[in-house]
Amino acid sequence: MQQVDKENLKKLGKRIKQARIVKSKSLNKFALQNGFITPATLSRIENGLVDLKFSTLLKISHMLKIQPSQLIKNIDFNYNFDDE
């Protein structure tokens, strides 16, 4: 995984966590709200340790009642594929 990927995952995770906190939801309560994600997985996502699927991003944004675009705003999509 490229360094830019790791940085982007950390940014995304931080945004998810901030949005969850604004909604006053504990990690456990939020994760178990619809039962599609475990608290451990959500913790790894919020800490940028998991490369989550697009469908998971959509479900999380729906649960947060925000657009997915708000979560990925200002994330660096400039990749140098020659480094792989």
68 pLDDT higher than 70: yes
Identify whether 80 is part of a domain. Answer: no
Identify whether 32 is part of a domain. Answer: yes
Identify whether 20 is part of a domain. Answer: yes
Residue 35 pLDDT:
77
Mean pLDDT of the chain: 87
Identify whether 9 is part of a domain. Answer: yes
Residue span of the structural domain in which 38 resides: 3-74
Identify whether 84 is part of a domain. Answer: no
Question: Residue 47's domain is classified under what CATH number?
Answer: 1.10.260.40
Residue 75 pLDDT:
82
Instruction: Determine the average pLDDT of the residues in 8-32.
Output: 91
Residue 33 pLDDT:
82
What Cα–Cα distance (Å) separates residue 60 from each residue in 3, 53, 78, 80?
24, 11, 24, 29
For residues 19 and 71, the answer to whether their CB atoms sit within 8 Å is: yes
Identify whether 81 is part of a domain. Answer: no
